Amino acid sequence: MSLSFAPVPIDVVRLPHAEGLPLPAYATEGAAGMDLLAAVGEPMTILPGARVLVPTGLKIALPAGYELQVRPRSGLALKHGIVLPNSPGTVDEDFRGELQVIVMNAGDAPFVVERGMRIAQAVVSPVVRAAWREVDVLPGTARGAGGFGSTGTR
């Protein structure tokens, strides 16, 4: 199956500590996310309950109207309890610093991040801007103000 849309071009600068690592890429034709790799010089141990900032060694320039969402990898979450506490993280179109990933060990054993390890996934997404409009009354719905479980569990 071939793509029916044009990929969004993203300029990328590879920093010295990412030399030799591949750029983010889609693993399959239907993948929504690209893996972000750890550009660490030495293995980084994350103790249970701890958070670290893992560098990717990449700086990017997103086109106007796009964001990069940084999301956890399900395999790391299931097998090791590795989560991204601010998930999904948002990289704005005007950010020009190094992409780094906040990684937390919610598991019960130390976890070692090694160079080139797939630590997160990145999804490029269009951004819609909101225009707040203050009104006196909101239109009604069947749900109304119900929340936090108001729609039941079945």
Q: Which domain holds residue 112?
A: 31-126
pTM of the prediction? 0.87
Which residue do the tokens 């690592």 mark?
A: 21
Q: Which residues contact 25 (CB under 8 A, 6 or more apart)?
A: 34, 35
pLDDT tens per residue, range 4-42: 678 999 999 999 999 999 999 999 999 999 999 999 999
Within a domain: 144? no
Number of domains in the chain: 1
* CATH at 51: 2.70.40.10
Within a domain: 81? yes
**What type of residue sits at position 47?**
L
- Closest-CA residue to 33 (of 98, 119, 109, 124): 124
